[in-house]
Amino acid sequence: MHNHHLLNVLKTFSRKEMTRFTEFSLSPYHHKHEATQALVAYLDKCFPEFPERLCDRKLIWKKLFPQDTFDQSKVALLFTYAWRLCENFLIEEQLAQNPQREQLLLIALRERRQWAIYERQLKKSKKTLHNTSHRDTDYYRQVMALAEEANEFYTVWEPRAQDQSLVEKEHALDQYYVLEKLRDAVQLQMRRQILQGDYSARLLEGVLEELRLNPEAYRKAPAVQVYYQLYQMMDQPSLSAYQAALVIFQQNESRFQTHELTAIYNYLQNFCIARINRNELPFLRELFGLYNAQLARELLHEGGYLIEWHYKNIVTAALRLGELEWVDHFIETQKEALAPVSAENAYRFNKAAYCHAVGEFGKVLELLTQVEYSDLRYNLGAKALLLRTYYELDEFEALHALVESFRQYLQRNRLLADSRRNGYYHLFRLTRRLAKLRAQYSYMDIDQATQRLAKIKEDMKQTDSIFNRAWLERKLEALEQSRNSG
């Protein structure tokens, strides 16, 4: 039973959640089947690994029914009951965090015609919502839901001469609709950069026209303003459009919940990366600023730990900016912020990248031999770092062998996206050509050397996707200058 979906879900629980689930199973209100309660109590003892030897169906039967003959169908039925119990537990856990719980209470009070209690609760719910700092889609959804509920109350109780609940609902609905269309439009714009397909946003033009004709109606809706600027940034990409979006976002950061903050930073971050890939280098400094802003707010963390890929990307961006002292300090101090399971591997890889940047090439080779390459990103990044190190050390035979093995690796790995495959392929191809020319450069005929150098330069110019392009350009320029100075 160790592969049962119940166990797969329980493995995702924290210790606190597993304890609550066990207590939930013992509540007679939720569940009264004693054998299922006994199964959950046994699984609690197997938490968190649920090893196969302890979750064997025959062993479970022996633990639960030591005097009875093994019955496989009964074990399966118990797991079915336990899974249904787990489903109800997950629903209850979500309801406990759902801001619309109070609306459910209002519905219950209205249906029981408890008008005095209802009005007090409605007033309390509106005040609580008004006092929240965020003004995102969740906020407008809740305003809309409360206004709709208040309107239902108005229609079934005593009609009052003045009731604004329907007007409030319509106003919130306008804000919610405009904001959701803009959010979706921004996300669709982002997807167009990654995936092929028809991602047209129907009715979007009507929303954009509404914002152009009635700007004052949305002036006090910060989320609408932010997403409108994000859409403008993606529709007409430029540094000034990016900066306009960033400014209005920074002015209204307190209006967004954490998950929304993370999403917006990702949009800005991915926009910068796309422009950097087009060789628009001012965006590199912008990207670095975004990373630092997210670090300060711990938006790059998960489960209390800094995500190792953010650690790697931050190091990469800072090295490209030449922030060597900052990088060294960051690598050392943030190592402790990484999850223990990945800390050493991430540290060695990024330390190797730093050592390459400061010219300590021997340390690069030493550190890379200690990196585990089970993840594709480390595998590719380490190969590219090794390639550049061999070039710096004039290890041309090792470089050529690496290029050949990498060519075979790309042929075997069909899951690699074309953009990434092409970027690495061209880096290795052009580096090998440049290394071959460098090995022969000092004793070649000057016209022949100049001609071959010009061909490589033209090839680079005509090739859109080259990883580590800036490094390759520096090496080409250095080779050219070495001949001129000689």
Q: Do the Cβ atoms of 309 and 375 come closer than 8 Å? A: no
Q: How far is 331 from 363, CA to CA, in rounded Å?
A: 15
Tell whether the model's pLDDT for residue 43 goes beyond 90.
yes
Tokens of 56: 């064997």
pLDDT at residue 465 in the model: 83
Helical (H) or strand (E) element with 302:
strand 301-302
Q: Do the Cβ atoms of 390 and 402 come closer than 8 Å? A: yes
From residue 244, alpha-carbon distances to 225, 229, 237, 247 in Å are: 11, 7, 11, 5
Q: What is the pLDDT of residues 230-242, one digit of tens each?
A: 999 998 889 999 9
Q: Would you list the DSSP string of 133-172?
A: S--SHHHHHHHHHHHHHHHHHHHHS---S---HHHHHHHH
The C-alpha angle with vertex 111 and arms to 110 and 112, in degrees rounded to 5, equals 90
Structure-token match 């459009």, residue found:
241
From residue 317, alpha-carbon distances to 122, 311, 320, 347, 445 in Å are: 51, 10, 5, 16, 40
pLDDT at residue 1 in the model: 60
Using pLDDT thresholds of 50, 70 and 90, give the confidence band for residue 283. very high
Q: How far is 179 from 225, CA to CA, in rounded Å?
A: 9
Specify the DSSP class assigned to residue 301.
E
- Which whole number is the average pLDDT over 55-77? 91
Using pLDDT thresholds of 50, 70 and 90, give the confidence band for residue 2. low
Helical (H) or strand (E) element with 121:
helix 115-131
Q: What is the pLDDT of residues 351-400, one digit of tens each?
A: 999 999 999 999 999 999 998 877 888 888 999 999 999 999 999 999 99
Q: How far is 383 from 387, CA to CA, in rounded Å?
A: 6
The mean pLDDT value of the chain amounts to 89
Q: How far is 6 from 80, CA to CA, in rounded Å?
A: 9
- Which whole number is the average pLDDT over 260-285? 90
Compute the chain's Rg from CA coordinates.
Answer: 30
Q: What is the dihedral of CA 302, 307, 309, 311, to 10 degrees?
A: 140
pLDDT at residue 195 in the model: 46
Look up residue 189 and give its amino acid.
Answer: Q
- Note the Cα 52 to chain centre separation in Å: 32
Tell whether the model's pLDDT for residue 323 goes beyond 50.
yes
| Spatial CA neighbour of 356 closest among 477, 474, 459 | 474
Using pLDDT thresholds of 50, 70 and 90, give the confidence band for residue 161. low
Crossing angle for the helix pair 258-276 and 239-251, to the nearest 10 degrees: 170
Q: Do the Cβ atoms of 19 and 44 come closer than 8 Å? A: yes
Tokens of 101: 């719980």
Look up residue 113 and give its amino acid.
Answer: R
* Longest pairwise C-alpha distance within the chain: 100
Coil, helix or strand at residue 306: strand
Tell whether the model's pLDDT for residue 194 goes beyond 60.
no
From residue 482, alpha-carbon distances to 315, 336, 395, 450, 476 in Å are: 30, 43, 19, 12, 10
Using pLDDT thresholds of 50, 70 and 90, give the confidence band for residue 294. very high
Q: How far is 470 from 60, CA to CA, in rounded Å?
A: 61
Specify the DSSP class assigned to residue 305.
E
Q: Do the Cβ atoms of 350 and 375 come closer than 8 Å? A: no
Tokens of 294: 């997210």
Structure-token match 């968190």, residue found:
48
Q: How far is 479 from 339, CA to CA, in rounded Å?
A: 42
Q: Is the dihedral of CA 460, 461, 463, 469 positive or negative?
A: positive
Q: Do the Cβ atoms of 357 and 388 come closer than 8 Å? A: no
Q: Would you list the DSSP string of 360-407?
A: -HHHHHHHHTT----SHHHHHHHHHHHHHHHHHTT-HHHHHHHHHHHH
| Spatial CA neighbour of 306 closest among 324, 286, 333, 288 | 333
